[in-house]
Every structure is written in C-alpha cells, then in structure tokens.
Amino acid sequence: MPEPVDPTRIAAGADEKIAAILRAAASWSTEAPPQLTPAIRAVCVRLAEMVADQRHYMAPLPEPQESERKAMLTEVANRLRTGPIARELKEYLDALAEMELRATGSWSLVATAQSEWVQTAIDFLQKKARDIPAAERPDEYWADDVVAGVIASVKGIIGADDLYSRIEAQYAGKGRPPVPRDE
C-alpha cells in the first residue's frame, strides 16, 4: 500500500508552481502596456489551470512520486480556479470563460479544442488591446507571441512536456517506429 501523501509537501509544491506561473505571467506582461497585464495574467492562470487538469494524461511516475504529483497538480488547479488569484482576476477570467464556452467545451478530450482555445486566448487579448488608446496598443501579432510563450512557459512549469509522448505511446504502441537511416 502506498504511503499517504504529505499535505504540507503538497501545499509547498503547489505554492511553488503557482508562484512560478505568476512570474511567467509577469514576464510575458513586461512588453505589453500595463493595462493589459490583468488580461495576460488571466490567460496564463486559465491555461495553467487547464494544463494542471491534464495530470491524468501525463506519463506516469513511479510511486510515491505519481501520487504526490497528482495531488499537487490537483491542488494547483483548484487554487487557480477558486483561490485568491481567481478572485482578483474574476472579471477577466469570466470574460475569457464566456469566450471559451462558445469555442472550446472539451479542452482535455478533443485535440481541436486545444487549438481553438489558443485562438480564443489570442482573440481575448486582442479584444482587450482594442480597449486601450491606439497609440498605446502593441503591434498586430503581439497576442500570438504572448499566448505561444505562455503555453510554453506553463507546460514547462507544470511538467506537461511529456503529455504528447504519453498520448503517442498510448495510441502508437511503443511510440513512433524508428526512422530508417541511409547508410
């Protein structure tokens, strides 16, 4: 029987992940006008919540690390969904959720929903940029760059880089067949 997870350790791990997520959001906000910072934070927080919810699709770790990771990612997702950050960004997260519901109802189940969410996040940031004076708006493709960067940052922070390898291994047997080399 596996040992029970240490709640103190889980909470500390969740605190570290959330702090790293907020640092990533702050980093991606540095080149945008300050009025767009909350919108960028909302995109980062929402994406991190969704990626943390992907914990069931990650390549398994040996026990007890697997139980610990799942518990910690559950805690991260719950805090991002209902904690003080969610309350602080409520207006932005609600506006993003309204757009998401029209575009992506099944982030973790349908591959196209993930790409549709990316477009939804870009549209959300572009909409927020249109709310500020034209002279202060970032260039035309800034939202694409921010969303791509946020995705890479969040996946790295959460540890979801192995998500595609897990899916590939699940559906392709033992992964991709070796590529023949010309010798």
Q: What's the pLDDT tens digit per position in 72-112?
A: 988 998 999 899 999 999 999 999 888 876 554 455 555 56
Say how far apart CA 17 and CA 15 lie, in whole Å: 6
The predicted model gives 105-120 an average pLDDT of 66
Domain that holds residue 159: 7-171
> Residue 164 and residue 111: Cα distance in Å, rounded?
11
Q: Is residue 183 part of a domain?
A: no
* pTM higher than the cut 0.85: no
Q: Is the pLDDT at 35 greater than 90, yes or no?
A: yes
Residue with tokens 């791990």: 13
- Using CA atoms, how far apart are residues 41 and 17, in angstroms rounded to an integer? 15
Distance CA 3, CA 63 (A): 9
Region of 51 please: left (phi>0), alpha (psi -120 to 50) or beta: alpha
* Predicted pLDDT of residue 125: 93
Give the count of domains, the chain. Answer: 1
DSSP, collapsed to helix, strand or coil, labels residue 183 as coil
The answer to whether position 178 is within a domain reads no
2 in a domain, yes or no? no
Quick check: is 18 in a domain? yes
pLDDT digits (tens, 9 = 90+) for 125-157: 999 999 999 889 888 889 999 998 888 888 888
156 belongs to a structural domain = yes
